[in-house]
């Protein structure tokens, strides 16, 4: 099956060094080592410091492991919301986060725009008692994104609220303004180019303090409360037996990306995205689902296909180019293309050539 390139929006193409790291992990008995031993603790420490270096995360923020981005939605609500959360909704994943909050018994407020449109954060009008504003930085379902620079508006407008960010399909390729965010979660099978089954949760001191307040009033969970996560993180461990193999691979990939440098990672992401959007503007069969240029995702690009997406997906597949179908109701209308650090400029040249051939 070699020769295939996965442009699916996650799980996706592995970062180029991962297969070799995985083979080395097998030889080094990584799947058998103890999650309470020194070797694991060094890995945890290295991941936390590697991630802080790569993403510019302040030293006093906490780095916790979760098992999925979906778990991130739950844990951030449980730990940071006593009564009410507010949600900026512009696709299926932002909607899902709001649904999680409702399921957890919280009141919610929402500012919703139709799928394909991009909300302006200055148009939100949440109540003063909203404890957490939930922002999906990159909306994988529509190929939309909210510029992280705009998060400053939320701090100004809602000084008493925490800002929670779903960066599942953009971190670390899209930089975040850490002064303006409190809880950020993302999973490793997107921009980090790893096998699925591990996610990261970054928590500000302010959000941690809030979780302590909420915990005085109600249950905030059991083994994955912020307090339990911190208790174990202080020992460079996790409350449960985690996906040790994924933690090992993450450590290696963070080292590789830090050698490459975050500017190179971000720059390549921007260049490849521009190349694809320039192509989309040059013909008529394929058009970006999101029209507003500043709201077009750089990392997960949704493309409306004239005549339906299935024949295009099949034709690309025959060329070894695996792209995703549309999300939900757009399954047969869109293709979705990931632009992750694992994807080289050559991969994008090849994909664009193939799309060009299909566009005439």
Give the binding site for a second copy (CB under 8 A): 1-2, 4, 6, 8, 10-14, 18-19, 22-23, 26-35, 67-71, 73-74, 77, 99-100, 103-105, 187, 189, 194-198, 218-219, 221-225, 239-246, 322, 324
User: Residue 21 or residue 151: which is nearer to a second copy going by CB?
Assistant: 21
**Nearest distance, CB of residue 226 and a second copy, angstroms:** 13
User: Residue 210 or residue 224: which is nearer to a second copy going by CB?
Assistant: 224
User: Residue 99 or residue 113: which is nearer to a second copy going by CB?
Assistant: 99
Contacts (Cβ under 8 Å, ≥6 apart) of 61: 52, 178, 202, 203, 204, 205
Own/partner pairs, 20-28, CB within 8 angstroms, 24+ separation:
21/248, 21/249, 21/252, 21/253, 22/245, 22/249, 25/245, 25/248, 25/249
Q: On the CB side of 106, how many CA atoms lie within 13 Å of its CA? A: 30
User: Residue 103 or residue 122: which is nearer to a second copy going by CB?
Assistant: 103
Strand partners, 302: 336
Structural contact between residues 130 and 109, judged by C-beta atoms closer than 8 angstroms:
yes
Alpha-carbon span 356 to 360, nearest angstrom = 7
**Nearest distance, CB of residue 113 and a second copy, angstroms:** 23
**Nearest distance, CB of residue 139 and a second copy, angstroms:** 16
Structural contact between residues 88 and 135, judged by C-beta atoms closer than 8 angstroms:
yes
User: Residue 135 or residue 323: which is nearer to a second copy going by CB?
Assistant: 323
**Nearest distance, CB of residue 217 and a second copy, angstroms:** 11
Strand partners, 187: 199
- Within the chain, strands assigned E span 5-6, 62-66, 84-89, 107-112, 132-136, 138-139, 144-145, 162-166, 183-187, 199-203, 286-288, 300-305, 321-322, 324-325, 334-338
User: Residue 121 or residue 244: which is nearer to a second copy going by CB?
Assistant: 244
**Nearest distance, CB of residue 281 and a second copy, angstroms:** 29
User: Residue 196 or residue 262: which is nearer to a second copy going by CB?
Assistant: 196
**Nearest distance, CB of residue 227 and a second copy, angstroms:** 10
**Nearest distance, CB of residue 180 and a second copy, angstroms:** 26
Alpha-carbon span 103 to 74, nearest angstrom = 9
């Amino acid at each position: 099956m070699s020769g295939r390139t996965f442009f699916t929006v996650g799980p996706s193409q592995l970062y180029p060094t991962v297969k070799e790291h995985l083979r080395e992990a097998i030889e080094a008995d990584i799947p058998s080592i103890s999650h309470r031993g020194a070797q694991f603790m060094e890995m945890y420490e290295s991941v936390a410091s590697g991630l802080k270096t790569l993403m510019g995360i302040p030293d006093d923020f906490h780095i916790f492991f979760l098992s999925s981005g979906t778990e991130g939605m739950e844990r951030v609500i449980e730990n940071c919301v006593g009564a009410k959360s507010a949600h900026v909704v512009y696709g299926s994943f932002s909607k899902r986060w709001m649904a999680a909050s409702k399921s957890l018994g919280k009141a919610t407020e929402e500012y919703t725009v139709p799928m394909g449109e991009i909300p302006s954060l200055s148009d939100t009008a949440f109540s003063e008692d909203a404890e957490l504003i939930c922002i999906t930085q990159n909306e994988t379902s529509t190929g939309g994104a909210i510029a992280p620079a705009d998060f400053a508006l939320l701090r100004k407008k809602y000084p008493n609220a925490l800002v929670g960010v779903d960066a599942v399909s953009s971190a670390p390729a899209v930089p975040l303004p850490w002064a303006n965010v409190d809880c950020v979660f993302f999973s490793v099978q997107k921009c980090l180019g790893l096998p699925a089954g591990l996610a990261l949760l970054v928590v500000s001191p302010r959000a941690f303090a809030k979780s302590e307040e909420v915990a005085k009033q109600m249950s905030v969970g059991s083994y994955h409360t912020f307090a339990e996560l911190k208790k174990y993180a202080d020992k460079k461990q996790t409350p449960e037996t985690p996906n040790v193999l994924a933690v090992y691979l993450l450590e290696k990939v963070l080292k590789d990306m830090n050698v490459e440098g975050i500017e190179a990672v971000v720059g390549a992401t921007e260049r490849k995205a521009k190349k694809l959007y320039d192509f989309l503007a040059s013909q008529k069969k394929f058009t970006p689902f999101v029209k507003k240029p500043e709201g077009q995702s750089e990392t997960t690009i949704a493309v409306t296909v004239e005549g339906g997406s299935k024949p295009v997906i099949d034709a690309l597949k025959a060329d070894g180019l695996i792209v995703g179908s549309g999300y939900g109701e757009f399954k047969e209308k869109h293709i979705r293309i990931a632009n992750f650090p694992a994807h080289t400029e050559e991969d994008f040249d090849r994909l664009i050539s193939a799309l060009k051939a299909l566009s005439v």
